[in-house]
Structure 1
Amino acid sequence: MRFTGRELRDLLLAWLALGLAFALFFQRVRPATMFDFLGSSAFVSAMFVSLVTVGVGFLLHELAHKVVAVHYGQYAEFRADYSFLALAIAGGLAGFIFAAPGAVFHRGRLTDAQHGHIAVAGPLTNLALAVVFAPLVYVAPLIGTRGVQINLLLAGFNMIPIGGLDGKTVKRWSTPIYLAVAVPSILLAISVFLF
C-alpha cells in the first residue's frame, strides 16, 4: 500500500490538529489562557494522551477504509479538511468538539457490498480499539479510559445513517449488517455520555 507525500502530510496534520483540539477540550483551556497552557508541562501530557487515544482512533479508522478500498483494487487516498480541522481546534477552545478531519477518497467501480465493506471497516476498527484500550484502564487509567470512550464515540457517531457518514453507506448495502453494527455502536456511544 502506497502513500503520497500529500497524504502523509494530511494524515500528520490531521493527527496533530485533533490532538490539539482534544487536549484543549479535555483540559478546559480558554482563549485567554491558551498561550500559557501551550508552554506548560500540562500541555505536553494532555497532547500525548490525545495523540495516543483520539489520534490513533482517527488514524486507524481512516487507514481501515484505505486498506479495504485498496483490497478491492481502488486508488485510495486520505485528504484532510483544513476548515474542519480549524473548527475542531476552535471548538476545543470553546468547550465543544466537532471533529470531521477529512476522509479517504477512492476511485473505481465498486458494488454496493464493496462500498459497504469499505465503510464498515472504520467503525469496526474503532470497536476493536476500544477492546484494546480496555485493559489499559488498570495500568494507565487516563489513557485506557479515554481510549475506550473516544473509540466508542467514533464508532457510534460514524454509524449514524446520515450525510457522508459510514452508517449511510452500510445501511444502503445491508440493513441487517447495518443494524448488527450500528445498534451496539450507538448504544455504547450513548453509554459513554451516561456513565
Structure 2
Amino acid sequence: MFKFTRSEVRDLIIAFFVISLCFAIVNGGRNPNAILTILPFVMVGVGSGFILHELGHKFVSMKYGYWAEFKLWPQGLIFALITSFFGFVFAAPGAVYTYANYMTDEINGKISVAGPVVNIILALVFLAIAIAVYPSAFTSETSVILFIVCSVGYSINSFLAVFNLLPIGNLDGSKVLRWNVGIWIITIAIAGILTAASMTMGVESLVRLIIGM
C-alpha cells in the first residue's frame, strides 16, 4: 500500500518550498519583486516536477515490495539556496530511501530511472499545453498566465530530468547506467534535447517553431 509517514510529508513540503524559492531566485534575477511575481508559477513546475519525481521512485520501490520514504537533506537545501544566487540550482534537497536487504542492479536501475522519466513526461505535457494555448495568448490574459506556467514547468522539468540522469555520485544516472547503458543513453539524450531547446531557443521560440508561426 502507498503510505506516507508524518515526517515524510513534512520533509516533502519543506523541500518543495525551498526548491521553489531557489528556482524563483534564478528566474527572477535576484530581484525581490520579480522573485515574488514568478514564485507562484515556479511552484507549479517544481511542485509537479519535484514531488512527482520523488513519488516515482517511491511508487516503483513499493511496487517491488520495498518500504520507501523521502528524507530531507538540510545541507543540500542550503547548498541549493547558495547556488541559486549564482544563477543555477544544484537541486539535492533529499532523496527517497528504499529499505532492502538486497537489491539487483536491474531493480535499482528501474527505481532510479522512474523519477527522471516522470520529469520528461511532465516536460512534454507542459510543452503540449503551451502549444495549445499559445495562439489564444494574444487575446486572453488567462491563456497568457497558463502559457507562462507551462513554460516554467517545461523548463524546470526538463532540467530536473537531465540533472538527475548525470552519472555522478549518488544521482539517479549512476544507478541507471550501471543497470542498462542503452536506457541511460536514450533517457539522458531526450532530457538533454529538451533542456537544450529551453536554454538556447526559449520556450516561446520553440512553440512558435513547432506550430509554424
Report TM bin, short chain: 0.7 to 0.9
Q: 2:22–2:84: 8 Å Cα contact kept in structure 1? A: yes
Question: 2: distance between equivalents of 1:144 and 1:49?
Answer: 8
Q: Deviations over 1:127-185 (max 9, x none)?
A: 11011111332232211111111111111111111211111111111112222222222
Match of 1:19 in 2: 20
Equivalent residue in structure 1 for 2:167, among 136, 157, 161: 161
Question: 2: distance between equivalents of 1:74 and 1:85?
Answer: 27
Q: TM-score, normalised by structure 2?
A: 0.81
**Aligned: 1:48 with 2:54:** no
SS of 1:104's partner is: strand
Match of 1:183 in 2: 189
Question: 2: distance between equivalents of 1:152 and 1:8?
Answer: 25
SS of 1:117's partner is: helix
Q: Give, in angstroms, the shift of residue 29 of structure 1.
A: 1.9
Q: Give, in angstroms, the shift of residue 97 of structure 1.
A: 1.9
Equivalent residue in structure 1 for 2:116, among 91, 115, 123: 123
Match of 2:125 in 1: 132
Equivalent residue in structure 1 for 2:149, among 143, 159, 164: 143
SS of 2:129's partner is: helix
Q: Give, in angstroms, the shift of residue 93 of structure 1.
A: 3.4
Q: Give, in angstroms, the shift of residue 186 of structure 1.
A: 2.2
Match of 1:174 in 2: 180
Question: 2: distance between equivalents of 1:112 and 1:159?
Answer: 16
Question: 2: distance between equivalents of 1:186 and 1:81?
Answer: 26
SS of 2:85's partner is: helix
Q: 2:23–2:89: 8 Å Cα contact kept in structure 1? A: yes
Q: 2:27–2:35: 8 Å Cα contact kept in structure 1? A: no
Q: Give, in angstroms, the shift of residue 95 of structure 1.
A: 3.2
Single out whichever of 73-82 and 182-191 deviates more from structure 2. Answer: 182-191
Match of 1:6 in 2: 7
Q: Give, in angstroms, the shift of residue 90 of structure 1.
A: 2.9
Q: Give, in angstroms, the shift of residue 89 of structure 1.
A: 2.2
Matched letter for residue 74 of structure 1:
Y
Q: 1:157–1:186: 8 Å Cα contact kept in structure 2? A: no
Question: 2: distance between equivalents of 1:167 and 1:119?
Answer: 8
SS of 1:77's partner is: strand
Match runs of 1:52-131 below 5 Å: 52-108=44-100, 109-131=102-124
Gaps of at least 5 residues in structure 1 are: 31-36
Question: 2: distance between equivalents of 1:55 and 1:90?
Answer: 20
Q: Give, in angstroms, the shift of residue 82 of structure 1.
A: 1.1
SS of 1:79's partner is: strand
Q: Give, in angstroms, the shift of residue 43 of structure 1.
A: 4.9
Match of 1:34 in 2: none
Could you list the structure 1 runs, at least 4 aligned residues long, displaced by more than 6 angstroms after superposition.
none
Residue 4 to residue 136, structure 1, CA distance change in 2 (3 Å): same
Q: Deviations over 1:32-53 (max 9, x none)?
A: xxxxx3xx6x555322111101
Aligned length: 186
SS of 1:78's partner is: strand
Matched letter for residue 126 of structure 1:
N
Q: 1:18–1:55: 8 Å Cα contact kept in structure 2? A: no
Q: Give, in angstroms, the shift of residue 117 of structure 1.
A: 0.7
